[in-house]
Amino acid sequence: MQSAQFKPDPQFQYPPIWRRVLCTLGYSVGAFAGISILGVLLVHVDCQLEDKCSTSDRIIDSLLSAVWLVATLFAAFKAWRGELPGCRKQLRT
């Protein structure tokens, strides 16, 4: 099995690794905050406070967790390729 390696385009200058990692973390924290607010709005208060969760509450919780994971992986992918605002690749001059 071959791995598909990212080959940087020589026409562009990519941001340093630390900046791409920092952008990924920033977007991940932002996604977590947004998804947490959705969780508070969508999951019943008894499930949040007293751990009396219905099946629908557990499904919503699992779906929101999966959305956060996918959003974090997507942000990492886009940041590494230099396509995320905050760490975009620049045209070489």
Q: Where are the domains of the chain?
A: 15-83
pLDDT tens for each residue of 10-67 = 888 889 999 999 999 999 999 999 999 999 999 998 888 888 989 998 999 999 999 9
Task: Find where tokens 């995320």 sit.
Answer: 84
pLDDT given for residue 91 in this prediction: 85
Q: What is the pLDDT of residues 78-93, one digit of tens each?
A: 999 999 999 998 888 7
CA gap 35, 89 in Å, rounded: 28
pLDDT over 70 at 1, yes or no? no
Average pLDDT over residues 70-75: 96
pLDDT for the residue 4: 62
- SS3 percent helix, strand, coil of the chain, rounded to 5, is 60, 5, 35
pLDDT score of 49? 86
Q: How far is CA 58 from the centre of its chain?
A: 21
